[in-house]
Structure formats: structure tokens, C-alpha cells
Amino acid sequence: MPRKESPFDLQTCARLNILQLEPYRCARDDYKDDGTNILLDANENAYGPSLAPNSSSNPSNPSEEPSIDFLGLNRYPDPHQHNLKQLLCNLRNTHIHTSKTLTPANLFVGVGSDEAIDALLRCFCVPGQDSILVCPPTYGMYSVSAQVNDVGLVKIPLLPAPDFALDIPAIISTLSSSEAASIKLIYICSPGNPTGSLIGKEDLRQVLEHPSWNGVVVLDEAYIDFAPEGSSLAEWVLEWPNLVVMQTLSKAFGLAGIRLGAAFTSPAIASLLNNLKAPYNVSSPTTAIACQALQEGGLSVMRKNRESILAQRNRLWKELPKVKGVGRFRGGTASNFLLVEILDIAGQPDNLTALKVYQILATDKGVVVRFRGKEQGCLGCLRITVGTEKEITRFLNEIQGVLEHIYERK
């Protein structure tokens, strides 16, 4: 018998907000890595994972710290990750911002910070009714997750470069307006992506002290370990019941591949997030590797690699402006990347020139950076991840040659 025609119609069956979704894109959607490219696009740690040299998958390997045992994968992982959470608390209990002490009850851990971003939306926002507030230029997944969850978006841009600070008067005014009741979450990136600027603690305090707004402030500290010592406000969640501070092991710890993120918050909010997550959301290997990285051996490697990154960041800051066609740095230096203008032949920031530099570097030179010129306040900008000394040397040589070639042709 011939097969009957199916009545299935994807366009009417799928949710409209998903059909219209513009997914998060990265440079590697355009340029695939063949193993030879220099990848300065995704703010990864080019120096590798923060694991002590004696880390091993062999459980019989003698070492000062427990080796990583990948046996027992036939069992579901620990759903509560108490030991991992305690190690994260140990890292952030600085007592700089409060005399109180973080405990595992203050934590949600998930598949990167992205799981926490999405979980918070599902926890606090009613689809088709509520909204979140974001401050562009900022991390794109806040908006993507909002659209996936059919949640509205209120945008209050950061103040202009070079500071990219919060526009406190505009935020306070919005939270005092008639639309405030629908705004359940504010996502703030600090240090900012792509700006690299640290948000002022007192600015954040003004938002938290709003007298009437009933919502949650989410501070995304993915790059906080590249900021000055004591910058993390993770322990400040002990002072504010509606503050969430997200962090990740993807950046300074060089563990992007294990996808481990954390959200510090009040026990009440942490409980809600833990209640709605999948039962075994963090794998056993991920937990084992993360615990290894958060012990003294791993922390020592992280600190050493961080020093190398900061040295190359300072080198870029000094040498990149010497290249003809490179303009001003925009934003701050509290991250493992820098945001810089690319100029046209008339000496003005220009998206066409920046996009051409980005494309030639990737396709012809094997050096992948990130074009950010379409972001709010980032005209003509490229975002450069800080790589190794060898990678930065090659990048500086290649961008100089590319700009010279572009100018010659004009």
C-alpha cells in the first residue's frame, strides 16, 4: 500500500518563538578548526586545564591528592555534588564582602553557566507574560534563553565606552515604572562580555536596594578570576536574598570541555533551582575533574596559567596600538580578552574594515578572533582572546600584515 500523506506541519506544530529563534552563534560556526588554527575567539584558556601533573585516571596511581577514577560509570552520578560545592565555597569564602560563610546550601551546579541562566528563567518567568532586563553589549545567551522560554526582553544599554558602566538612573527608572511588575530577572555580566569591564559594587547595591521592585539580580562572573583580587561578589549573596552570582570553570580554570557552572545564591533560591534541574545533571567525570581542579594542586596550576595570561594581556595592551589601523581599546582589562577598534583608511572605527580583517585572519591566516562590531557601542570592534606567547606573537604579525594589505588595496 502506498504511504498515506502525513498531516504533520512543522510550521504550525512547533512553538512560534522557537521557529523564530536566532540561535547563539560563535566564530567557529563560520570557520571550522582543523587543528592548525590559532583560536582567539571564544575566551578559552590556551594554557590548558588547571589539573595538577599527578592527576590521573588510574586509581592506583600514588599521589598527594586523589586521582581521577573513571571507573563506576555504570552508576548514575551523585545528584547533590556536596563535596564539589564545598570546594567552590572554600574558593569564594574570602570574607571581604561579608563576615558570613558560604555553604553548599548556597549553591546550584549545572552544565556550564548556561544551565543556570535557563533554570532561572524557568523558575521565575511566566512564558508569554514576564520579562528579563539585560544591559547590552552583553552575553548573547541571556536573550537566546529568554526567547526559548517565550520571555520578553527589556534592554537598557550600558553607558558608552570606554567604561561601559551600568546606566543606574535608567535602570532605577524602569524598575519604578508600570512595566516593573513583569521584569523578574536582571542579567548583569561582570566582567562584561565583550567589554571586559567590571561592574561597580556600589552600582549593583543601588539596584539591589530598589524600594519596590520584586525580582532577582543575576551577576555573571564568568571571567572574575582575571579581575583584581577580591573582585568576586559570590559571598555577597549572604547579604542579599535576591542576588545570584554565576561562575564557571571554563575560563581561568581552562576546563571549558567539562561544562561546569555554578550559581551562588540564597538557600531558598538554590533549593528551587536544584528542585527543577534534571536528576543527574552533572556527570561523574565532570565532578571528578572539577574537584581535582579546585584542590591545591589544581589551584596552583590555575594561578600560574593566569599569570601567563595576564602577562600576554598586558603585552597586547602595549603592542597592538602600535599597529597601523588599530584604534582605541574599548572597555576594561578585567578579563582574558580585549576589545579593540579597527579603523578605516580615514582613521575612523569601521565595521566593514573590521569584518574584512576578521575574515582574512580566519580564512587566509588561520587566526580566529571575534567580530563584535554589531554589538551596542562596539562599532568597528574585534574581541581578541589572550592566548599563549607564541599565539600572540603570530597574531600581532598577522594582523599587521592584513591591515597593510587592506590599506594598500584602497
**How does residue 108 score in pLDDT terms, banded at 50, 70 and 90?**
very high
Give dist(CA 316, CA 39) in Å, integer.
Answer: 16
**What's the topology of domain 82-298?**
Aspartate Aminotransferase; domain 2 (3.40.640)
Which residues are bridge partners to 109 per DSSP?
262
pLDDT at 68 over 80: no
Q: What is the per-residue pLDDT across 358-396, written as a single tens digit (0 to 9) for each? A: 999 999 999 999 999 999 999 999 999 999 999 999 999
Candidate from 16-20, 63-67, 172-176 with smallest mean pLDDT: 63-67
Span between the terminal Cα atoms of the chain, in Å: 67
**What are the sequence ranges of the domains in the chain?**
14-48+300-409, 82-298
**Average confidence (pLDDT) over 293-305:** 96
**How does residue 33 score in pLDDT terms, banded at 50, 70 and 90?**
low
**How does residue 56 score in pLDDT terms, banded at 50, 70 and 90?**
very low
- Beta strands at 260-264 and 216-220: parallel, antiparallel or unpaired: unpaired
pTM of the prediction? 0.91
**How does residue 16 score in pLDDT terms, banded at 50, 70 and 90?**
confident
CATH of domain 14-48+300-409: 3.90.1150.10
pLDDT at 64 over 70: no
Residue 344 is predicted with a pLDDT of 95
Give dist(CA 66, CA 87) in Å, integer.
Answer: 14
**How does residue 24 score in pLDDT terms, banded at 50, 70 and 90?**
low
**Average confidence (pLDDT) over 185-203:** 97
pLDDT at 310 over 80: yes
Residue 27 is predicted with a pLDDT of 60
- Topology alike, domains 14-48+300-409 and 82-298: no
